[in-house]
């Protein structure tokens, strides 16, 4: 029996809880048919909700609460997953989602079929980057017992979570979903984890799983050249003191992601401005805006996150907006995780697992929001019924947030559909615009002057600091490192025709034993599964490829040109069905998901379960081992 807290505390915990997760955890633990028979949580009567809470309280106060939640049998797991959503799944959907609750020790890990074989002498894998994806790859190599080294150009792990320390930097998905399935129930202090906690989590994983001693900090890959005769990559790595080291690796995993290269706006007169011009990645604790006049360019995720805290401290803020965004609310965004909730995650077997699953499942059907319905459009709609409803709801939300100020509403309503661009979460951005010390400027920037910013209408606004929240150069995959493959092929030259392309976002023909995490067209446009889970899935795929090399006595594995081209043809065709490539309004030309050639660049356009089926196990007919 749990005696650490009193009854009132426990009651508060369940009043705060996700009752759907409570229901599924309780059914799993007790098999109670009365609880299993309860319908969708939103449709329960008050008496039914009280029945559920009473049974849950009784359970956590009993001795049964001390039994850990174990992986259910496959048919039971599927039944519980379908009970959580009220929707039956296809086999493909079940396979893609079964790892989300995290009952297994390491979902999507790969294993030696007949025990670890003897490795070729000196065999080593080089991993570039110690962010989320690099750590996922390192854990996979560590589990397999394959020697590896991780090169990290910064002085800390974390990737973007080490580089971005601007005010209110945080995740925009629930913390419970933003963690690896193999390192679960981290003690987050907020519903949406702030930057420092995310970086702390990545460091925790690196140390717990034995990666730390294999990380080489302040080490920046300059070049990787494939030696076809020996089947190895020759690497040149820059050090912080200006020197370089050289080494060979049998395989290279690039885990630098798409947010490694800040994008600075090309504005006339930048050198003449007398104050600091900062990209958010350059923000440090030494920067203080108290009593100063600040200009902020950009209203993407970063620009939205940092405005409210800057506006609270600054004397005056000018927000320079090029394109309006659909910025949406998130319940409990920026709020601390209550002690009662922290207790419930730890005390009730299965609650963390099912809270994670139900939080993710809300996005399982998000793909349909991005597909144009011709019949709906012909009847006078914009995109489809659900997308148009979101448009209506967000329009009403914007008006409420800015107190129905017509001068602001006119500037803030986009002329394109929701989901045409990356969704942005509101942390008080709209209400910050109503402050007396904040002005929204929608006239284009003409130039910087010694004292401030001049817009195209000839107005100069004097500022002390300019923050350029203009995002990242996402087309520069692997940049600035040079990769030279078979027959001297330069990877960046190969990609110069219409932007970076890859097979499954992971492999490129002519570049054997070279893999990418968060490569071109990697991030699924929908489906809910978090990026940390995808990093694990992709790392498992890479692990299987490297295992096949070792077990088969091969020195090279690569995708065929035919498979690469076939895959990309299917990808481009699927992308054409999505809003991301629609010509509506200003979305297409200003959307970082789309490259300068009009191609979808960042996202995988496929339904998430189908992409999982392709990405979780190699199709050996598409690969060459030699």
pLDDT tens profile 353-367: 999 999 999 889 889
Q: How many residues does the chain have?
A: 626
Q: Is residue 484 part of a domain?
A: yes
Q: Which two tokens stand for residue 402?
A: 């800015």
Return all residues near 568 (Cβ < 8 A) that are at least 6 apart. 501, 503
Position 586 scores a pLDDT of 58
Model confidence at 589: pLDDT above 60: no
335 touches 168 (CB < 8 A): no
- Cβ of 292: how many Cβ atoms within 10 Å? 17
Please state the domain count of the chain: 3
Model confidence at 588: pLDDT above 70: no
Cα–Cα distance for residue pair 351/17, rounded to 1 Å? 9
Return all residues near 210 (Cβ < 8 A) that are at least 6 apart. 142
Domain shared by 85 and 56, yes or no = yes
Cα–Cα distance for residue pair 616/544, rounded to 1 Å? 9
Domain shared by 157 and 34, yes or no = no
Position 585 scores a pLDDT of 60
Coil/strand/helix, residue 515: strand
Mean pLDDT, to the nearest integer, of 61-82? 90
Q: Which two tokens stand for residue 74?
A: 């496959």
Return all residues near 366 (Cβ < 8 A) that are at least 6 apart. 419, 526, 527, 528
Mean pLDDT, to the nearest integer, of 298-321? 96
Return all residues near 517 (Cβ < 8 A) that are at least 6 apart. 129, 133, 134, 136, 137, 253, 254, 255, 257, 506, 535, 538, 539, 542
pLDDT averaged over the chain? 94
Residue 594, beta-bridge partner list: 600
The pTM is what? 0.95
Cα–Cα distance for residue pair 615/542, rounded to 1 Å? 10
Phi, psi of 185 (to 5 degrees): 50, 50
If pLDDT is split at 50, 70 and 90, which confidence band does 491 have? very high
Domain extent, residue 567, equals 125-261+474-625
pLDDT digits (tens, 9 = 90+) for 198-245: 999 999 999 999 999 999 999 999 999 999 999 999 999 999 999 999
Counting residues of the chain whose pLDDT is more than 70, the rounded percentage is: 98
201 touches 136 (CB < 8 A): no
460-462 and 557-559: which strand pairing? unpaired
Domain boundary among 450, 468, 486: 468
Position 563 scores a pLDDT of 99
Position 584 scores a pLDDT of 63
Cα–Cα distance for residue pair 601/366, rounded to 1 Å? 20
Model confidence at 590: pLDDT above 70: no
Cα–Cα distance for residue pair 192/194, rounded to 1 Å? 7
370 touches 579 (CB < 8 A): yes
**H or E, element range at 386:** helix 385-401
Place of tokens 């492999």: 507
380 touches 542 (CB < 8 A): no
Mean pLDDT, to the nearest integer, of 84-94? 96
Domain shared by 395 and 313, yes or no = yes
267 touches 320 (CB < 8 A): no
Domain shared by 482 and 618, yes or no = yes
Position 474 scores a pLDDT of 76
The alpha carbon dihedral of 588, 589, 594, 596 has a sign of: positive
Q: Which two tokens stand for residue 437?
A: 């010390």
Q: Which two tokens stand for residue 121?
A: 């002498």
Q: Is residue 564 part of a domain?
A: yes
Residue 441, beta-bridge partner list: 320
pLDDT digits (tens, 9 = 90+) for 471-480: 888 778 898 8
Cα–Cα distance for residue pair 220/243, rounded to 1 Å? 11
Domain shared by 226 and 283, yes or no = no
Return all residues near 337 (Cβ < 8 A) that are at least 6 apart. 175, 188, 189, 190, 191
Q: Is residue 47 part of a domain?
A: yes
Phi, psi of 445 (to 5 degrees): -80, 125
Domain boundary among 451, 468, 485: 468
Domain shared by 554 and 619, yes or no = yes
Q: Is residue 608 part of a domain?
A: yes
Residue 600, beta-bridge partner list: 594
Q: Is residue 366 part of a domain?
A: no
Q: Is 362 exposed, middle or buried (0-12, 13-18, 19+ CB in 10 A)?
A: exposed
Q: Which two tokens stand for residue 45?
A: 């009567």
- What does the DSSP 8-state code read for residue 381? -
Domain shared by 13 and 85, yes or no = yes
543 touches 141 (CB < 8 A): yes
244 touches 221 (CB < 8 A): no
Q: Which two tokens stand for residue 592?
A: 């970082």
Domain boundary among 433, 468, 503: 468
Cα–Cα distance for residue pair 537/244, rounded to 1 Å? 33
* Higher-scoring residue by pLDDT: 471, 513: 513
Q: Is residue 108 part of a domain?
A: no
Place of tokens 């799993």: 28
Q: What is the CATH number of the domain that holds 172?
A: 3.50.50.60
Domain shared by 490 and 616, yes or no = yes
- How would you classify residue 514: left for phi > 0, otherwise alpha for psi between -120 and 50, otherwise beta? beta
* Higher-scoring residue by pLDDT: 587, 416: 416
Model confidence at 509: pLDDT above 90: yes
Q: Is residue 504 part of a domain?
A: yes
Domain shared by 175 and 37, yes or no = no
Counting residues of the chain whose pLDDT is more than 90, the rounded percentage is: 88
Peptide bond into 480 cis (omega under 30): yes
Cα–Cα distance for residue pair 564/417, rounded to 1 Å? 32
Integer angstrom CA distances of residue 49 from 12, 46, 55, 72, 257: 14, 5, 10, 26, 44
545 touches 623 (CB < 8 A): yes
Domain shared by 410 and 525, yes or no = no
pLDDT digits (tens, 9 = 90+) for 270-284: 999 999 999 999 998
Domain shared by 320 and 184, yes or no = no
Cα–Cα distance for residue pair 530/537, rounded to 1 Å? 11
Q: Which of 24, 23, 204, 15 shows the shortest CA–CA distance to 100?
A: 24
If pLDDT is split at 50, 70 and 90, which confidence band does 66 have? confident
Phi, psi of 225 (to 5 degrees): -120, 125
Integer angstrom CA distances of residue 522 from 17, 477, 507, 518, 561: 33, 12, 11, 5, 19
Q: Is residue 240 part of a domain?
A: yes
258 touches 602 (CB < 8 A): yes
Domain shared by 287 and 429, yes or no = yes
Model confidence at 587: pLDDT above 60: no
Phi, psi of 503 (to 5 degrees): -90, 120
440 touches 431 (CB < 8 A): no
179 touches 201 (CB < 8 A): yes
- How does DSSP assign 70-126, residue by residue? -PPPHHHHHHHHHHHHTS---HHHHHHHTTTT--SSSTT----BTBPPPPPTT--EE
Cα–Cα distance for residue pair 625/557, rounded to 1 Å? 5
575 touches 591 (CB < 8 A): no
Model confidence at 1: pLDDT above 50: no
């Amino acid at each position: 029996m749990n005696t650490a807290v009193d009854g009132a505390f426990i009651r508060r915990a369940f009043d705060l809880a996700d009752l759907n997760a409570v229901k599924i955890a309780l059914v799993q633990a007790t098999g109670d048919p009365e609880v299993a028979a309860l319908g969708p949580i939103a449709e329960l009567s008050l008496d039914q909700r009280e029945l559920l809470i009473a049974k849950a309280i009784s359970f956590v106060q009993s001795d049964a609460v001390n039994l850990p939640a174990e992986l259910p049998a496959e048919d039971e797991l599927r039944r519980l997953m379908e009970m959580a959503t009220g929707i039956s799944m296809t086999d493909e959907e079940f396979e893609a989602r079964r790892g989300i609750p995290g009952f297994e020790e390491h979902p999507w890990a790969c294993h030696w079929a007949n025990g670890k074989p003897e490795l070729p002498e000196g065999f080593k894998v080089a991993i570039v980057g110690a962010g989320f994806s690099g750590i996922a790859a390192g854990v996979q190599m560590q589990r397999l017992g394959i020697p590896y080294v991780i090169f990290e150009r910064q002085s800390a792990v974390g990737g973007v979570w080490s580089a971005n320390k601007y005010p209110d930097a945080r995740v925009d998905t629930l913390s419970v979903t933003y963690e690896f399935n193999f390192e679960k129930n981290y003690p987050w202090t907020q519903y949406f984890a702030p930057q420092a906690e995310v970086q702390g989590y990545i460091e925790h994983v690196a140390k717990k799983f034995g990666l730390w001693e294999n990380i080489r900090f302040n080490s920046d890959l300059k070049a990787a050249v494939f030696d076809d005769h020996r089947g190895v990559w020759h690497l040149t790595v820059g050090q912080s003191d200006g020197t370089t080291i050289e080494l060979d690796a049998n395989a290279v995993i690039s885990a630098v992601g798409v947010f490694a290269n800040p994008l600075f706006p090309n504005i006339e007169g930048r050198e003449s401005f007398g104050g600091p011009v900062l990209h958010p990645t350059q923000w440090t604790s030494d920067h203080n805006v108290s009593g100063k006049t600040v200009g902020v360019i950009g209203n993407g995720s970063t620009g939205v996150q940092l405005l409210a805290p800057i506006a609270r401290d600054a004397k005056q803020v000018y927000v320079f907006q090029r394109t309006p965004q659909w910025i949406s609310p998130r319940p409990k965004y920026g709020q601390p995780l209550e002690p009662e909730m922290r207790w419930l995650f730890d005390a009730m077997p299965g609650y963390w697992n099912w809270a994670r699953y139900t939080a993710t499942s809300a996005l399982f059907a998000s793909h349909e929001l991005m597909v144009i319905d011709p019949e709906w459009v012909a009847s006078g709609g914009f995109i489809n019924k659900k997308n148009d409803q979101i448009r209506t709801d967000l329009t009403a939300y914007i008006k409420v947030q800015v107190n129905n100020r017509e001068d602001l509403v006119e500037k803030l309503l986009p002329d394109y559909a929701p989901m045409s661009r990356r969704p942005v979460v509101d942390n008080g951005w709209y209400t910050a615009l109503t402050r007396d010390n904040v002005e929204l400027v929608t006239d284009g920037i003409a130039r910087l002057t010694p004292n401030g910013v001049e817009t195209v209408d000839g107005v100069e606004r004097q500022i002390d600091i300019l923050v350029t929240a203009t995002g990242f150069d996402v087309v520069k995959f692997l940049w600035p490192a040079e990769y030279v493959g078979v027959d001297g092929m330069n990877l960046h030259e190969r990609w110069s025709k219409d932007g970076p392309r890859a097979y499954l976002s992971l492999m490129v023909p002519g570049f054997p034993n070279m893999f990418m995490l968060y490569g071109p067209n990697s991030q699924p446009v929908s489906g809910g599964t978090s990026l940390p889970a995808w990093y694990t899935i992709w790392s498992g795929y890479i692990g299987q490829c490297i295992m096949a090399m070792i077990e088969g006595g091969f020195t090279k594995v690569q995708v065929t040109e035919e498979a690469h081209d076939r895959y990309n043809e299917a990808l481009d065709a699927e992308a054409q069905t999505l809003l991301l490539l629609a010509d509506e309004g200003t979305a297409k030309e200003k959307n970082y998901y789309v490259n300068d050639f009009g191609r979808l660049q960042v996202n995988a356009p496929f339904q998430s379960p189908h992409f999982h089926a392709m990405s979780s196990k190699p199709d050996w007919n598409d690969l060459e081992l030699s």
